[in-house]
Amino acid sequence: MSLSAMASTIIDGSVLEGGGQILRNSVSLSSLLSKPVKIEKIRNGRKPPGLRNQHRTGLELAANIASARLSGATNGSTEIEFIPGRINLPNHFTADSVTAGSITLLLQVAFPLLLFSPTKVPESTLTLFGGTNATLAPQVDYTKHVFLPFVQRHFHIEKVSLHIKKRGYFPKGGGEVQFSVTPFWGADQKLRSFSLLERGKVKWIAGVAHYAGLPNAIGQGMVAGATQRLAEAGFGSNTSDSTNTLQIPSSENVDVPVSIQACREPNSLTKGAGSGIVLWAELEGGGIIGGDAVGTKNLPPEQVGRLAAESLIKGLQDGGCVDEWLQDQIIIFMALADGKSEVRCGTSGLTLHTRTAIWLAEQLTNAKFEVEEEESGHVIIRCQGVGYTAPAPPDLTEGM
């Protein structure tokens, strides 16, 4: 029976987080598993509801990669149907949000689709245009320095790279990112499952304070603010401010090196002015914790740096092996991996995005998730993955 004749799985787009994440994960899994989906009540609780330009661009990118038939994907639409075809790799794909819509959210749609091939093929590439650093999505530096290193290490995705060619700040966008990945191929190569239950101490903290179209003092101020706040918590300094509520136990942060670089983008490599800072902490057990902040006109750069540091410190204080943003982004990979994966999250529990990602993975795959809350308050996510491999292409000579 052809895919177009198969009944579409109905996905309620208003469940839990009820936003764009349901769209992204649904069409990614639909494409990989050759399961048509109809998504209803899209962004039902948002004002205004329905698709925005960025969501439509992501759906169109997935449809392009998966040779899918996409209907209903117009701005403002609250219902779409996605009937996947064949993912043809290797290839080069391009998507442009036109606005300052997040490039990293486009990447979340496309990345899983480029990871699997039935036969050995060279790398596939993406060129994505839009916003690189915004407040309502992971900054591209977070994706580069936290998310990608994590999935490379724990799922054994070896050949993947991300290059920031141009920065795109709100509201003009205009950023450009190039991404490439060499897929797993055949029945024997699969995403590896992993166990990450021990955090260990903080090995080091690094970061990048990026800015464009602004004085050098902006970058220097963000670095100074972040460095000072981390020193108050004991990182990179033996002094601490005991009056501050965001403190890390002293055994966690003695002699932890801190290295934050200020990076000014050439005017030719950005459209408009903007700034931001992303920090990340490497943990002995193999986990990574990130924190960030985006610059605004009314916020001194030192305060932007302090906000990023406080975000990182809060994530470390939570006590998990991953931060709240990494939590939900790895769920789809846990579902597709071969074997049982498990990861300890912090005492803040699972985010709504994570719960949504788990719910959706269980709707469309045979992966089985368990969530355990320990007496300490930490939460462990366990998943028996499906061991996904790309299906062999149809034999076009059969029946001739």
Within 13 A of 56's CA, how many CA atoms are on the CB side? 15
- Answer for the pair 341, 358: CB distance below 8 angstroms, yes or no: no
Amino acid identity at 10: I
Q: Is 42 exposed, middle or buried (0-12, 13-18, 19+ CB in 10 A)?
A: buried
Sole residue written with tokens 């970058």:
219
Q: Which helix (H) or strand (E) holds 281?
A: strand 274-283
Q: Identify the active-site residue in 55, 154, 210, 353.
A: 353
Per DSSP, 52 falls in state: -
How many whole angstroms separate alpha carbon 242 and alpha carbon 159? 45
Residue 363: phi and psi, rounded to 5, are -70, -35
- The reply to whether 55 belongs to the active site is no
Strand 340-345 versus strand 379-384 pairing type: antiparallel
Provide the angle, in degrees to the nearest 10, between the axes of the packed helices 20-33 and 352-364.
30
- Answer for the pair 302, 221: CB distance below 8 angstroms, yes or no: yes
How many whole angstroms separate alpha carbon 378 and alpha carbon 348? 8
How many whole angstroms separate alpha carbon 255 and alpha carbon 253? 6
Residues 6+ apart with CB under 8 A from 216: 262, 264
How many whole angstroms separate alpha carbon 55 and alpha carbon 75? 8
Query: Which has the closest alpha carbon to 111: 41, 26, 181?
Result: 181
Amino acid identity at 282: E
Structure tokens at 389: 């491999």
Q: Which helix (H) or strand (E) holds 63?
A: helix 53-65
Give catalytic residue positions.
353
